[in-house]
Amino acid sequence: LLNKKKVYIILGIIIVLSLIIEVLFAHPHHHMIWNTVPGADVIMGFAGAWLLILLAKKIMTSLFQRKEDYYEGGNRHDG
């Protein structure tokens, strides 16, 4: 089916197409840097997703996740 490489290629094509359309036709309503610079949203999506994975998977997992029987009286203070 789809492997990682194919997904990257498809996404690359989508990004390039959307960039072309954005440069040619877009008229931003707002004037912050992420509205005006073409392709800024790709970077924001990338950085945002990376940040969220870091926050959720690295930090929140260790802080808030416990064994499944935690409330049923399992090993209570086990991370």
Partner 1 sequence: MMDNFLQPGLIMIISGLLVIIVPEILRKVVMITAPLLTGYAVITSGADKLTLMVGIIFSIIALIAGLYNLHVKDRVELCVEAIYAGSSISVVFATHWIGMLIFWELMAVASWLIVVVSRTERATKAGFRYLLVHMLGGNLLLAGIVIKMAQGSTLIECLTGQQDIAYWLILAGVAVNAAIPPLNAWIADAYPESTMGGTVYMASYTTKVGVFCLIKLFAGTEFLLYFGVFMAVWGACMALIENDLRRLFSYHIISQLGYMIAALAIGGASGIDGASAHLFNNILYKGTLFMCSGVVIAATGKRKISELGGLGKKMPVTSTCFMIASLAIAGFPLLNGFNSKSVVMNTVAESGLHWAELLLMLASVGTLMSITLKINYFVFWGKSDNNLMADESSVPMNRKIAMILGAAGCIITGIFPNIVYGLTPFGTDGHPFTVDHITQYIQLFAGAIIVFVMYIEHMMPKAKITLDTDWFYRVPLKYAVAFLSQLTDNVRCKTGNSIAVLVEKTNECVKNPSILSKKIFGIKEDSEGLEDDDVLQAPIGIMLTVTALFFVGIVVYVFLRI
Of the candidate residues 9, 26, 37, 75, the single one contacting partner 1 (CB under 8 A): 26
Q: At its nearest, how many Å lie between partner 1 and the CB of residue 79?
A: 10
Calpha distance 7→9 (Å, rounded) = 5
HSE-up of 25 (CA within 13 Å, CB side)? 5
- Tokens at residue 72, please? 């049923």
Per rule CB under 8 A, is residue 37 in the interface with partner 1?
A: no
Contact 12, 19 (CB under 8 A): no
Q: Give the interface with partner 1 as residue ranges (CB under 8 A).
A: 4, 7-8, 11, 14-15, 18-19, 21-22, 25-30, 32, 34-35, 39-53, 55-57, 60-61, 64-68, 70-71, 76
